[in-house]
Amino acid sequence: MTSFYLASVSYVGTRYSGFQIQSTLPTIQGTIWNSLKNIDPMVGLPSGASRTDAGVHAEDQKVFFKTEKPWDLTILKKAIQAYLHDDIQINTIHAVPEDFTFKKAVVAKRYCYRLATGPQRNPKENFHRWYLPGSFQIDLFEMNKALKYYLGTHDFSSFRASECVALSPIKTLYRFELIEDSQGLSILFDGNQFLMHQIRILTGTLVEFMKNKFTSDDLRSILVFKDRTKAGPTAPPHGLTLEKIWLDPALGLNEPYNLVRPCID
C-alpha cells in the first residue's frame, strides 16, 4: 500500500550543487533520494517546495515522497537520517493523504539573506553571510520605507535570472525588510513564490542602495522598467537561507501564515 509523507528538512548547502538533482554533482534532492532508496528500493524521486541554488541553506525545506509500505513516523525519520550526511537533518515527518497536492499546499515562503559589515571579516560566518567591507551609514527606517514600494503583487522581471523558466514574472511580496541582528544585517523576504535568483538580485540591488549607488527613486524605476540590466548584481548564494515554508492551514501541519504576516500598507 502506497503511503505519502511530507518532511521538514534543514541543510547547510555549502557542499551541494543546489536542491535539484543533477547527474554528476551532489545535490540535496539526490542525497535524500539515495537515503530513501536504502529503506525502499522502489521509492520515486522526492520533490521539494523550493529549488534552492548551490550554496544556499535551509531551515525548513519541505520534501514530499511516497513509499510502498506504511511506516511508523519515528522509525522512518531515524531510518532516513541514518543514511544522510551530518549537514542534512530531517526535522519532522508527517503522513499526508493520498490526494495531497504539494504545489497547491504551499501558501508562503520566508527567506533570509544575511550580511556581515564592519572593519574585518568574521571567518566563522564565511559560509553564511556576504561580507561587505567598508563602513555604512544606514538609516533602517528610511531604507525600509523605500522597500515598501516592492510589497504587494508586481512584475519582477527586473529581478529575474535570464535562465528562469517560470511561466509568469508576477509574484507577491508580503515582506521585504532590512533589520539589524547580532552579527550584522538580515534581509527578510516573505512571498507566495519567487523567481530564479529573485531574492539574490533584490539583495544585490539593496546593497547598491546602501552604498548610495541607487536612490529611492531608482528603486522604483528599476521595478517599473522590467529590465534585468537596470537592477543591481546577483548577491552570492552563501548568505541566503530558506527559513520557513507555510502550508495550507487546513492541513493542520503548521500555524496559518496570516497570523504572522505583516500588513502591507
- Give the pLDDT score at 182: 85
Cβ-contact 231, 49 below 8 angstroms: no
- Give the pLDDT score at 261: 54
Q: Which domains does the chain have, with CATH numbers?
A: 3-100 (3.30.70.580), 105-259 (3.30.70.660)
- Give the pLDDT score at 263: 45
How many Å separate Cα 73 from the centre of its chain? 26
Which set of grid coordinates corresponds to residue 53? 541554488
- Give the pLDDT score at 258: 67
Burial status of residue 47 (CB atoms within 10 A of its CB: 0-12, 13-18, 19 or more): middle
Strand, helix or coil for residue 56: coil
Which set of grid coordinates corresponds to residue 181? 541582528
Q: Which phi and psi angles does 116 have, rounded to 5°?
A: -115, 130
- The tens-digit pLDDT sequence of the chain (265 residues) is 899 999 999 999 999 999 999 989 999 999 999 999 999 999 999 999 999 999 999 999 999 999 999 999 999 999 999 999 999 999 999 999 988 888 889 999 999 999 998 888 888 888 999 999 877 788 999 999 999 999 999 999 999 999 999 999 999 999 999 999 988 999 999 999 999 999 999 999 999 999 999 999 999 999 999 999 999 999 999 999 999 999 988 888 877 776 555 544 4
Catalytic residue at 227? Answer: no
Biggest CA pair distance of the chain: 61
Which helix (H) or strand (E) covers residue 38, if one does? Answer: helix 28-39
Distance CA 61, CA 73 (A): 18
Cβ-contact 130, 239 below 8 angstroms: yes
- Which of these is catalytic: 40, 53, 181, 217? 53
- Give the pLDDT score at 259: 53
Q: Is 212 left (phi over 0), alpha (psi -120 to 50) or beta?
A: left
